[in-house]
Chain A
Amino acid sequence: MKGRLGLRFVAIGYLAALLAFPVGLVFYRAFEHGVDAFWEAMTTPDAQHAFWLTVEMVAIAVPLNTAFGVLCALVLVRQNFRGKALLNAAVDLPFAVSPVVIGLALILIYGRDGWIGDWLIENGIRVIFSTPGMILATIFVSLPFVVREVVPVLREIGTEQEQAAETLGASPLQTFFRITLPAIRWGVAYGVVLTTARALGEFGAVSIVSGKLSGQTETLTLLVENRFQRFDLAGAYAASVVLAILALLTLLSMNLLRPKEGR
């Protein structure tokens, strides 16, 4: 019994020191000068712009990654072809690669002197140091989530129902929307939540391709860093709290979705 209490103490102590206290303190610091100060820090033009830019990036990256993720999972589970193992490994790459390296890779392709960067710039398309590059970076880092959540579900449901539908004359599209999609919807939802969280919070990859132009290419995470560097601690805490609340909402929806996966 003594040993059990000791272990409990170690576990709770570790989590408190590493997670609970620090996060709690940031909330306290953000609101220690009152809600008005917090509101003021978040309604400056820069903060407003950062917030809406973040929303815009999520709104583009998440649907694209969801569509790609479901398609990719279908290909990985339902089809056999040469190089399938390679595709499987490539999907997980963004998890294993540092976000900074991802950012650098995008610069080498789309930036000045990049593989297609010069051609793009000549045609008036600016990718690096502007929003398209940041969206690409966000898509890149949050690529694997939907695939990884949908693949096991697809394996589990099997193909019997889909085959039955096809025998009864359903087109592939009908089969997908009437049979497959409803069966995998919780897996997709879980993947979407994880993708959204990652897209909201990405810093390294976005930072390196953004050029950090305040009021132009500054997302919420970049705003946190910028305000911190300018010794605007209260402002940095305020922006952090907005992101932390979004993270907590993510946790909440993860917990709500998780039991449903088993159904």
Chain B
Amino acid sequence: MIALIPLSAVVLKSTDRGWDSFWNAVSSPQAWAALRLTLIASVVVVIVNAIVGTVIAWVLVRDEFRGKSVMNSIIDLPFALPTIVAGLTLLALYGPRGPFGLDVAYTRFAVVLALLFVTLPFVVRAVQPVLLELDQEVEQAAESLGASKWVTFRRIILPALYPAIIAGSGLAFARAVGEFGSLVLITGNLPFKTEAASVFIFSQVESDNVTGAAAVSVVLLLIAFVVLLGFGWLSRKVVRDEG
């Protein structure tokens, strides 16, 4: 009840002046630009996460080197670190006063960078346990039958990892769509350029346009639900097709 009542208030508020006002709020150029940026950035972030996250999980499970345990424990840092600190942290290195002269602050790349930071652990932590459980005998069999490393990976390992990669990506996507704290400082929140949907909602609340904020919120809620349901369905489908 604590969770459901307030959220239904948002849904009701978004349509309390009829569907037209809901639609006008969502399709205003600024809201539309913010929603589009959030969606595109989230898709990019999920693709990068699916690839790099799997690589990191692989290295953590199959590779041996000094400092691996340190690497394993800092993976969770983005979950533990407050998002506003994450934003400031990235700004320190990739902002105007950064030591390497790499300045991406107030660009769309900054949005992607911040989202990459906060969603890092999802795919890694989903894939890692599956890789640990994976039977290495099948891989050895494939290799002894003449399969190259790449073929073994693509035909034997990757299919076993798909459900975990998809599940982790779904969580990362949902998180990326709603992310706020890490974006505030590094993106500069320039409307039409670097203003993400959550930041747009925030600015609408501050300027007392609560109905507009609620309308965009409902779109975000819908996206999060569709994504979580969709990725869950996809991950079950992959398991079924395997079986």
Which A positions have Cβ atoms within 8 angstroms of B?
A: 3-4, 7-8, 10-12, 14-15, 18-23, 25-26, 29, 90-91, 93-109, 114-115, 139-140, 143, 194, 197, 200-204, 207-208, 220-221, 224-225, 228, 236-237, 240, 243-244, 247-248, 250-251, 254-255
A-B residue pairs in contact (CB < 8 Å), sample of 9: A18-B113, A20-B74, A97-B224, A98-B197, A101-B198, A140-B3, A204-B180, A228-B88, A240-B89
Q: Are B89 and A108 in contact, CB atoms less than 8 angstroms apart?
A: no
Chain A CB count within 10 A is highest, among B2, B3, B94, B201, for B3
Q: Are A240 and B9 in contact, CB atoms less than 8 angstroms apart?
A: no
Number of interface residues, chain B, beta carbon within 8 A: 69
Give Cα A100 to B92, complex, Å.
25
Q: Which residues of A contact B166 (CB under 8 A)?
A: none
Give Cα A158 to B185, complex, Å.
48
Q: Are B201 and A224 in contact, CB atoms less than 8 angstroms apart?
A: no
Q: Are B71 and A140 in contact, CB atoms less than 8 angstroms apart?
A: no
The answer, among A96, A139, A143, for a CB contact under 8 Å with B225, is A96
Give Cα A108 to B225, complex, Å.
21
Give Cα A23 to B233, complex, Å.
37
Q: Are A93 and B7 in contact, CB atoms less than 8 angstroms apart?
A: yes
Count contacts between A and B, CB distance < 8 Å: 210
Q: Are B178 and A201 in contact, CB atoms less than 8 angstroms apart?
A: no
Q: Which residues of A contact B205 (CB under 8 A)?
A: 100, 103-104, 107, 208
Q: Which residues of B contact A194 (CB under 8 A)?
A: 79
Known A208-B205, A224-B85, A225-B185; contact A21-B93, beta-carbon cutoff 8 A:
yes
Q: Are B93 and A224 in contact, CB atoms less than 8 angstroms apart?
A: no
Q: Are A18 and B198 in contact, CB atoms less than 8 angstroms apart?
A: no
Give Cα A235 to B3, complex, Å.
36
By beta carbon, the residue of chain A nearest B98 is: A25
By beta carbon, the residue of chain B nearest A242 is: B85
The stretch that binds A, out of B19-27, B51-59, B126-134, is B51-59
**Residues 1-48 of B at the A interface (beta carbon under 8 Å):** 2-7, 9-10, 13
By beta carbon, the residue of chain A nearest B93 is: A22
Give Cα A194 to B5, complex, Å.
25
Q: Which residues of B contact A10 (CB under 8 A)?
A: 52, 55, 59
Q: Which residues of B contact A26 (CB under 8 A)?
A: 85, 88-89, 92
Q: Which residues of A contact B60 (CB under 8 A)?
A: 11
Q: Are B184 and A225 in contact, CB atoms less than 8 angstroms apart?
A: yes
Q: Which residues of A contact B99 (CB under 8 A)?
A: 25
Known A99-B178, A104-B213; contact A109-B73, beta-carbon cutoff 8 A:
no
Q: Which residues of B contact A29 (CB under 8 A)?
A: 92
Give Cα A136 to B154, complex, Å.
48
Q: Does B120 sit at the interface, judged by CB under 8 A?
A: yes
The stretch that binds A, out of B139-147, B155-163, B214-222, is B214-222
Q: Are A19 and B3 in contact, CB atoms less than 8 angstroms apart?
A: no
Q: Are B2 and A139 in contact, CB atoms less than 8 angstroms apart?
A: yes
Chain A CB count within 10 A is highest, among B9, B85, B90, B201, for B85
The answer, among B76, B149, B178, B184, for a CB contact under 8 Å with A96, is B178
Known A8-B59, A104-B217; contact A202-B202, beta-carbon cutoff 8 A:
no
- Quote the shortest CB–CB distance from A211 to chain B (angstroms): 10
Q: Does B63 sit at the interface, judged by CB under 8 A?
A: yes
By beta carbon, the residue of chain A nearest B213 is: A104
By beta carbon, the residue of chain A nearest B113 is: A18
- Interface residues as binary, B73-84 with A (CB distance below 8 Å gives 1, 0 otherwise): 111111111111
By beta carbon, the residue of chain B nearest A110 is: B6
